[in-house]
Amino acid sequence: MTPSDLPRVHIATDHAGMELSAHLVSHLGAKGYEVLDHGPEVYDALDDYPSFCINAALAVVADQEAGTNALGIVLGGSGNGEQIAANKVKGVRAALAWNLSTAKLAREHNDANVVAVGGRQHSVGEATEIIEAFLAEPFSNDERHVRRIGKIATYERTGEVIA
């Protein structure tokens, strides 16, 4: 990928992912990604991560709706709460990735637009590889995957469950 093909990246974390987040902002920026950090700005062991993750997710959706290629990264100790928070934003498909396969499949099969990673579950190197795999993997556009994502989007918009 050339720098012009790279997605804009929105990143957010809780206190447990701050070291990883700082590394990723620097590392991905050096690779040509435009990285926008949604916080937190300072370490606080009692921080409330939902606002940071929701703001990053809102920015991903806003960019995508405006035609900008954008993806998101949310980090925490496990990544679970951060994924849940991001998934509350209409239009977000956040996936918890714990290895290269789950990161790639999240994009390839689910067209996930946000990845959640647990900073306490991986070394910085492992987490970086997982995130780079997510950012690089394209959506397959397979009809079955498009159909399934459409059913999820319909439920999100209307509350209707399509068989």
Measured distance CA(70)–CA(63) in Å, rounded:
6
Active site residue 82: yes
Catalytic residue among 19, 109, 126, 137: 109
C-alpha atoms less than 13 angstroms from C-alpha of 79 in its C-beta half-sphere? 25
The region that residue 118 occupies, defined by phi over 0 for left and psi between -120 and 50 for alpha, beta otherwise, is beta
Active site residue 38: no
Is residue 14 exposed (0-12), middle (13-18) or buried (19+ Cβ within 10 Å)?
Answer: buried
Catalytic residue among 10, 38, 82, 122: 82
Known catalytic residues?
82, 109
